Amino acid sequence: MASVIGCLELIKAANNISSFTLQVLETLIAAATGYLVIVSVGQYYLDHGFDRQDRRPGGRPNARALRRKIAANLSRAHLVRSTP
**C-alpha distances in Å from residue 39, one per residue of 6, 26, 52, 63:** 11, 20, 20, 23
pLDDT number for residue 39: 84
pLDDT for position 2? 58
pLDDT tens string 16-74: 998 888 888 999 899 889 888 888 888 888 777 766 655 666 556 666 777 777 777 77
* pLDDT number for residue 43: 82
